[in-house]
């Protein structure tokens, strides 16, 4: 079954959003564990862990978003590859705006309950 560039972009953007959300939950859980157990990492170790996770995350995100378009480019289908990249970017903006709206609604609800 052949999917449209818009559908492929949607799947890729949803995959990226899911990956980033799961990663954020994992980092938050690790942070809570280190606070509860009063673990103090040396600054060099903390910076190294941060940079390594950043690099690994960039590779995973790049693979999710750019692997298929790269295959298309190498198969000399540049137009389709660019369409998929732009659709992925567009869907990412939509997901980002949805998250901003969710944060604003949560913030507004918290403001109402504290008054």
The per-residue pLDDT for 94 is 98
Query: Which DSSP string do the residues of 60-88 spell out, in sequence order?
Result: HHHHHHHHHHHHHHHTT-HHHHHHHHHHH
The domain of 66 spans: 5-114
Domains in the chain, number: 1
The per-residue pLDDT for 46 is 86
**With a threshold of 0.85, does the pTM exceed it?**
yes
Question: CB neighbours of 3 closer than 8 A, spacing ≥ 6?
Answer: 11
Mean pLDDT of the chain: 94
The per-residue pLDDT for 89 is 98
């Amino acid at each position: 079954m052949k999917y449209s560039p818009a559908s492929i972009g949607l799947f890729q953007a949803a995959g990226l959003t899911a990956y980033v959300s799961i990663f954020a939950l994992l980092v938050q859980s690790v942070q809570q564990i280190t606070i509860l157990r009063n673990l103090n990492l040396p600054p060099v170790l903390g910076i190294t862990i941060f940079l390594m996770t950043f690099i690994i995350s960039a590779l995973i995100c790049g693979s999710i978003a750019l692997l298929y378009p790269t295959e298309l480019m190498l198969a000399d289908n540049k137009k389709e590859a660019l369409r998929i990249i732009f659709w992925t970017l567009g869907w990412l903006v939509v997901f980002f705006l949805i998250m901003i709206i969710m944060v604003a609604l949560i913030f507004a609800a918290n403001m109402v309950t504290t008054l």
